[in-house]
Chains A and B, each alone.
Chain A
């Protein structure tokens, strides 16, 4: 158990809809990262937050947004969903130096 909790584990929705993925980091970790894993793109870095502030941004679509709340949990919002957004979305957390990332078990999103 990595200590990182992601909910829900599975999400099935339709095109055009909006969903929210939730992540609770390990106790004491200030950084949260979001990754998208798909068969064709592999593991793609989306965004990182550190103590509530955006720290780094990757290949995140404009339809996607994230935030980190004062209690350090994070949410990834995906809107106007398309079939191609179907993927496994991972959250990870780390301490301030980012030497080691701890990954959650992921949220499997299926857009039908």
Chain B
């Protein structure tokens, strides 16, 4: 079945370090891909998305490129801040008739000053 695999956390970085969180997916066809972020005590928020191969989603300094050849959607940020500490979820949506998302396990990011 369709699935999303993320790198295990926690990921601990110093402020201004470069961030990569790996995400790969298994799905037939052409799913849409998403990154959601969950801050402590809150619900998930959409961070960025890409709907077709080679699309790059970007928001708040975060970027991810939809790579169909490697079935990947890795999240990157050039310089992380303490306020980026959160849990990051990669997700796919297979069917455009429903917003149903399949999520990865989530990766916890801790940024230390």
Contacts and interface: CB of A to CB of B under 8 A. Distances in A.
Give the bracket for the number of chain A residues in contact with chain B.
20 to 34
B50 to A, nearest CB: 12
Give the bracket for the number of chain B residues in contact with chain A.
20 to 34
B98 A48 contact: yes
Contacts of A103: 36, 43-45
A50 to B, nearest CB: 8
Contacts of A4: 43
A43 B87 CA distance: 12
A105 B99 contact: no
A30 B100 CA distance: 14
Interface stretch (A11-19, A63-71, A77-85, A92-100): A92-100
B100 A56 contact: yes
Most chain B beta-carbon neighbours within 10 Å: one of A43, A90, A97, A105 = A43
Interface of B: 36, 41-46, 49, 89, 93, 95-106
Nearest 3 CB-CB pairings of A with B = A98-B99, A103-B43, A43-B103
Interface of A: 2, 4, 31, 33, 35, 42-43, 45, 48, 50, 55-56, 58, 90, 92, 94, 97-106
